[in-house]
Chain A
Amino acid sequence: MNTIQKTGYEPQVEEHGKAVEISGSRAVLEALLEEGVDTVFGYPGGAIMPIYDALYDYNSQLKHILVRHEQGAIHAAQGFARSSGKTGVVFATSGPGATNLVTGLADAMIDSNPIVCITGQVFASLLGTDAFQETDVINITTPITKWNYQVTDASEIPEAIARAFHIASTGRPGPVLIDITKNAQLQLFEYPGYNKCSHIRSYRPEPEIRKEYIEKAAALINQAQKPLVLFGQGVILGKAEAEFRAFIEKAGIPSAATLLGLSALPSDHELHVGMLGMHGNYAPNVMTNECDVLIAVGMRFDDRVTGRLDQYAKQAKIIHLDIDPAEIDKNVKTTVPVWGNCKKTLPMLTQLIHPGNHGDWLQQFRELEKEEVKEVIHNELNPSGEVMTMGEVIKVLNELTNGDAIITTDVGQHQMVASRYAKFNHSKSSVTSGGLGTMGFGLPAAIGAWYGAPEKTVVAIVGDGGFQMTLQELGTIMQFGAKVKIIILNNEFLGMVRQWQQLFNERRYSFVDITSPDFVALAKAYHINGQKVSERKDLKEALKTALDHDGAYLLEVMVGKENNVFPMVTQGSSVSDIRLK
């Protein structure tokens, strides 16, 4: 069923052209090398011991990063995938090892990250007996994996892993889990060599592109007076950044990013009009309900983007470009669906559209932007009060990194502030947990992002709450030396929930007051340098020290306790009813 493709890797398991017997465990590692994997994030345990034993001999070809918790492993693999565009790989043992992957799998599923998880499982003869560390990981992970499969015989391993990589990385990417029973890992079998998988008959990664739809879409765009483009992570996943730019530049269409679309287009591009969504920018939210043609590229109309659906862009004709047919018409009714990989559909569309310049229309965005600057942005970035704001930390960071850093975030107020104000000059430089909103994502994702792009500066911007969910990964940094810059924006609250309690629950602050350890001392315990800044005058120097330090660094910045993130589209409101205060 698989077509044979040559891989660059020269296997070491052939003897004079004859197949030899190897263990299932070795077949796993050979498969990873054939797939071009060089980094694995994992944690050993009883049921995956044979694979770890085989790994002992592959140490020079496969870098294994020992995390401190399996959730850290999968978030690191996600960070790796997001910064490198490659598939992230995770090893975990059965039972608790596998269940600790669940949050990361759900996160990778909803944010379309290509991940291959390999979990150990009890001996096949023990399946279903409530054996030690046995859990039904296939059933647990079914709704949060693109595909999963249990291997009970070593001979299945090469094809299962080949399929796993094909499925995880093609079409709309997603996580795949392969569960391998211990007997299959130990079993010797005649290794037939490795064939990459390029076709599965029941799986069509990319829908057929339909010429008429492209023509219809082009006709709509050519007639549009007030077109607006919304772009999502699909542009990055499709490696279509250049095609996307060519498209919007030819037609001169204002373009707004979703949270996960950030960095697909440089922040300071003249057609970039900001971020969409609940805490996005004022202009693109308001103008969504003013445009006449809405062109959505590789995004999925999440409820945090659309606000109240029955008042969302009702006046507009909607063109939706997506690789996943299930996204078409799911939330927003489409006028013209353009199914396919935007790497291919965008150039076809660009060819058919007339060169345009929507200068007056774009100017309206800039006017609204001025209003947002006046009401929100100016005060956030240049606060008059004594306490620091999250925004000014990001502003200084921008000045020092020139927008060249990879920024990972956790979830909450700091995430929205970082996403709103950070400058992104390069694609794949924003790494955040969007769909699932996983607190604790930021630190392990930064570790993985660094391994995916070690030549880059990687900054993890986290809150005092989320950091405490996965701070054990400081141990991983200590042991393996990822040069991650951790900036904790500490407002001594679970800030986003507190903001909602202030605005919607009459300030009834119910369990949002969170105390923190001495983060700098904690870092020191892990031999990581750090400092805490409470006054504005020390901020720039401290950030500079953090960035210049040759190694990981932890910087804790005390910010205003009860600062809120604005603008805000409150739940149940239309996007055009976005509040500036």
Chain B
Amino acid sequence: MEKKEYTITLYTENSIGLIGRISGIFSRRKINIESLNTSPSEAEGIHRFTIVIQESEEVLKKLCRQLEKQIDVLKAYYNTDEEIVWQEQALYKVPADVVTEKLYVERLLRQYGASTVVIRQDYIVFETAGHREEIDRLTEELNKYGLIEFVRGARIAIIKDSAGFHEKLMEFDYREPSPNLVENEYLDQRGSVFTM
């Protein structure tokens, strides 16, 4: 099956060592994590992991089940790039004289919407946010002009669907131990939004 870029979103407890338990689920299957970000979520006390990998959907389904099986993981979802709005942030340290003397560099920075973070006599630090390809292009260009240092942050992503994960997530705050029987609204839609 064809490999694609997928973004996995996990909602978890904020517990020590969980990142190791989660990364082990990927490394055990020899899957490379391309980007990993952890942050608080909109629900108090619940953390959010955003993980990017290249795999087939079949593998993603199995991975999400293994991830959700972990005691401290509340929910695991996966999405294609089309289903999410995502950003990556980057910082560039560029020699000050290059920016002041080369018109092309100045244009480039404008074109990519880079904003200034720090200005010193010897260098200037710029910041941009965007998709990875844009960041990569800018890096490539700046490299020709003596880019001193570059760092890119992990992907953060929000689902396009208007309700997002919010409602499902909020269920956890009031859910009692699971009822024995529920009617299943997802029957025959197992392929769409992944859920258990």
Cβ of A211 under 8 Å from chain B = yes
Which of A139, A167, A203, A329 makes the CB contact (< 8 A) with B62?
Answer: A329
Cβ–Cβ < 8 Å partners of A198 in chain B = 177
**Docked pose: A53 CA to B72 CA in angstroms:** 33
Known: A201-B175, A202-B72, A326-B65. A139 touches B17 (CB 8 A): yes
Q: Known contacts A202-B71, A203-B71; is A213 also within 8 Å of B65 by CB?
A: no
Question: A167–B187 contact, CB under 8 A?
Answer: no
Which of B20-28, B136-144, B159-167 participates in binding chain A?
B20-28
Q: Which of B17, B68, B73, B173 contacts A142 (CB 8 A)?
A: B17
Binds A, one of B82-90, B109-117, B178-186: B178-186
Tell me whether B132 is interfacial, beta carbon within 8 Å: no
Q: CB-CB contacts of A183-207 with B at 8 A, as 1s and 0s?
A: 0000000000000001111111011
Q: In the bound complex, do residue A201 and residue B180 qualify as a contact, i.e. CB atoms below 8 Å apart?
A: no
- When A143-B24, A206-B178 are in contact, do A201 and B172 touch as well, CB less than 8 Å? yes
Contact at A209–B180, with CB atoms within 8 Å? yes
Q: How far is the CA of A146 from the CA of B24 in the complex (A)?
A: 13
Query: B74 in the interface, Cβ–Cβ < 8 Å?
Result: yes
Which of A139, A167, A208, A328 lies at the interface centre, i.e. has the most chain B CB atoms within 10 A of its CB? A208
Selected contact of A212 from candidates B13, B176, B187, CB within 8 Å: B187
> In angstroms, how far is the closest chain B Cβ from the Cβ of A109?
12
Contact of A96 with B by CB under 8 A: no
Given contacts A142-B24, A324-B69, A326-B69, contact A210 B187 (CB under 8 A): yes
B28 touches A325 (CB 8 A): no
Whether a CB of chain A sits under 8 angstroms from the CB of B7 is no
Residue of A nearest to B177 (CB): A199
- The complex places the Cα of A206 from the Cα of B69 at a distance, in Å, of 11
A210 engages B28 (CB within 8 Å): no
B1 adjacent to chain A (CB < 8 Å): no
Question: Are the CB atoms of A325 and B65 closer together than 8 Å?
Answer: yes
Q: Which residues 200-255 of A sit at the B interface, judged by CB distance below 8 A?
A: 200-204, 206-213
Does A330 make an interface contact (CB < 8 A)? yes
| A interface, over-half SS | mixed
Does A138 count as interface, using CB distance less than 8 angstroms? yes
Question: What chain A residues lie within 8 Å of B103 (beta carbons)?
Answer: none
B57: min CB distance to chain A, Å: 12
Minimum C-beta distance from B19 to chain A (A) = 10
Residues of B contacting A203 in the complex (Cβ-Cβ under 8 angstroms): 71-72
Collect the chain B residues with CB atoms within 8 Å of residue A325's CB.
65, 68-69, 196
B20 touches A146 (CB 8 A): no
Which A residues between 327 and 385 are near B, CB-CB below 8 angstroms?
328-330, 339, 344
Per-residue A-contact encoding for B1-41, CB less than 8 Å = 1, 0 else: 00000000000110011001100100010000000000000
Given contacts A147-B71, A201-B172, A202-B71, 13 further A-B contacts (CB under 8 A): A139-B17, A142-B17, A142-B24, A143-B21, A143-B24, A167-B71, A203-B71, A204-B178, A209-B182, A212-B184, A213-B187, A325-B68, A330-B65
Query: Which 3 A-B residue pairings sit nearest by Cβ, starting from the closest?
Result: A210-B184, A326-B65, A147-B71
Can you report 27 A-B residue pairs in the complex whose CB atoms are below 8 A from each other?
A138-B17, A139-B20, A142-B20, A147-B72, A148-B17, A150-B17, A198-B177, A199-B177, A200-B71, A201-B175, A202-B13, A203-B71, A208-B179, A210-B182, A210-B184, A210-B187, A211-B183, A211-B184, A212-B183, A212-B187, A213-B187, A324-B69, A325-B65, A325-B68, A326-B66, A329-B61, A329-B62
